[in-house]
Amino acid sequence: MSRPVLAPSATVGYDVITSGEVRNLIRLELVQGAQHEILHEQRAARNRISAYDPRLFRYTPSVTIGPERLSRFRAGPAALRLTVFGGQKLLRTPASRVRELQVRLAPTQ
């Protein structure tokens, strides 16, 4: 299986649905070895009273990775990492949910 290639000015995004019970933190990062950079971070909305307001919230942002940001990495394998941090509810904080997509970074000119 070949990895998707990220070149300068590539656009990446995610699709996350939250319950609105707590204010989850959603973070998208580009990771290559010890080098990592946060591409986008947002705090999810929260329902005022979830027993009366059962709405779900959907987040589908997209981020363009500019050449200056990509130049901080070297060409080769990397990963796009999406982490959703659960918020505390009833004295319990759930484990974070992490998804990674293996990519290949194109050389910057």
- Sketch the domain layout of the chain as residue ranges: 5-105
Question: In the prediction, which pLDDT does 47 show?
Answer: 81
**pLDDT 10s digits, 55-74:** 888 999 999 999 999 999 99
DSSP 96: P
Reported pTM: 0.85
CA–CA dist 94, 6 (Å, integer): 32
CA distance 85 to 50: 19
* Residue among 61, 75, 58, 63 at smallest CA distance from 109: 75
Q: How many residues does the chain have?
A: 109
Residue linked to tokens 């649905």: 17
Residues 6+ apart with CB under 8 A from 86: 22, 24, 93, 94, 95, 96, 97
Measured distance CA(31)–CA(9) in Å, rounded: 17
pLDDT of residue 22: 82
Q: What is the DSSP letter of 28?
A: E
Rounded mean pLDDT, 38-52: 85
Q: What is the pLDDT of residues 3-32, one digit of tens each?
A: 799 999 999 999 999 888 888 899 999 999
pLDDT of 88: 79
Supply the CATH classification number for the domain 5-105.
2.60.40
